[in-house]
A and B are shown apart, each in its own frame.
Chain A
Amino acid sequence: MTILINSVIILSLLLGTFFIVMTAVGLVRFPDAYTRAHAASKSATLGVLFILIGVFIYFWQIEGTYNSRIILGIVFIFITGPIGGHIMARAAYFSGVKPTERTVRDDLKEEYERKKRSL
């Protein structure tokens, strides 16, 4: 039983670290602010989630303390993570950060021009 629990903990910590490393790789390699926001808002959320789950299981099964604050932490990260990504992408667009040349289609441009005129 201990072996099973240990392997679950190790697997979840490894997965979390893997996703966070991949976030960092994506942040370096992706061409513009918006594609970087993709990497930062998704993989980082899931990476932190896996690490927190690993920590939770460790303290619950090995140390014997049931720590509900970790669960709350997971919930809070889930609520705030995507909103952070959204706000940063929006602020970048409306302060005039150009998307990469690969961008094939831009429906937001009209809305941006309209907003700029109305200010």
Chain B
Amino acid sequence: MAVQILLNVFLALVWMFLSNTFTGVGFITGYLLGLIMLYMMRHMFKSRFYLHRVWAVIKLFLLFFKELWNANIDVVKHAMKPKITMTPAFFAYPTELTADWEITLLSNLITLTPGTIVVHVSDDGKTLYIHAIDLDDVDEAIASIQNTFEKAIVEVTRT
């Protein structure tokens, strides 16, 4: 991905030299033309056309803000209940992510989203121990994390 972006910037610079317009507008024009060229030559790269990945990152951000809002409504509901009726629990969550930064990102997202906090990451990085504020069903909680965040992160890192 980094190689493609670098190549795109380089193509924009070449365009600026060809057309002799050293301005922001010239750079943007060259960048867009370079984007078209990269799109036409996308089969020559090992990884995907990089705009797919940029789009995946944007989707991850939107998902994150949506879940953050839900999380806060959840906490507010618990705090305003006349009688505290929560059933907290610690549960183990098996993750398929391998790179350290992916696990960090996943635990950050889990911590900021509805009713869950990562308490401990096992030494081999395969299991996250999560504290849930109101646990009805462990399998359901695990599945919901897997289907939203882990899928979105895998979508970003997929080559």
Q: Report A's interface with B, CB cutoff 8 A.
A: 19, 22-23, 25-26, 29-32, 34-35, 37-39, 41-43, 45-46, 78-79, 81-83, 85-86, 89-90, 93-94, 99-100, 102-109, 111
B18 within 8 A of A: no
Give the distance to chain B from A22, nearest Cβ to Cβ, in Å. 5
Give A82 to B68 CA distance when docked, in angstroms: 11
B71 within 8 A of A: yes
Option from B76, B89, B111, B135 in Cβ contact (under 8 Å) with A41: B111
Is B75's CB under 8 angstroms from A103's CB? Answer: no
Is A42's CB under 8 angstroms from B75's CB? Answer: yes
A contact face: mostly helix, strand, loop, or mixed: helix
Give the distance to chain B from A27, nearest Cβ to Cβ, in Å. 9
Most buried by B among A25, A78, A90, A108: A108
Do A35 and B120 contact each other (CB < 8 Å), given the known contacts A19-B76, A29-B79?
A: no
Is B79's CB under 8 angstroms from A105's CB? Answer: no
For chain B, the bracket of interface size reads: 20 to 34
Per-residue A-contact encoding for B47-61, CB less than 8 Å = 1, 0 else: 000000000000000
Give A86 to B138 CA distance when docked, in angstroms: 20
B133 within 8 A of A: yes
Is B76's CB under 8 angstroms from A43's CB? Answer: yes
Give the distance to chain B from A109, nearest Cβ to Cβ, in Å. 8
Q: Which chain A residue shows the least CB distance to B71?
A: A42
Chain A residue contacts of B120, Cβ below 8 A:
90, 93-94, 108, 111
Give the distance to chain A from B108, nearest Cβ to Cβ, in Å. 5
Is A46's CB under 8 angstroms from B91's CB? Answer: no
Is A45's CB under 8 angstroms from B108's CB? Answer: no
Most buried by A among B68, B92, B111: B111
Give the distance to chain A from B93, nearest Cβ to Cβ, in Å. 9
Do A108 and B90 contact each other (CB < 8 Å), given the known contacts A19-B76, A42-B112, A43-B72?
A: yes
Do A105 and B117 contact each other (CB < 8 Å), given the known contacts A19-B76, A86-B111, A100-B88?
A: no
Is B89's CB under 8 angstroms from A38's CB? Answer: no
Q: Which chain B residue shows the least CB distance to A109?
A: B90
Most buried by B among A42, A103, A104: A42
Give the distance to chain B from A47, nearest Cβ to Cβ, in Å. 8
Q: Which chain A residue shows the least CB distance to B104?
A: A83
Is A35's CB under 8 angstroms from B112's CB? Answer: no
Give the distance to chain A from B79, nearest Cβ to Cβ, in Å. 4
Is A45's CB under 8 angstroms from B112's CB? Answer: yes
Give A93 to B88 CA distance when docked, in angstroms: 14
Option from A26, A85, A108 in Cβ contact (under 8 Å) with B79: A26
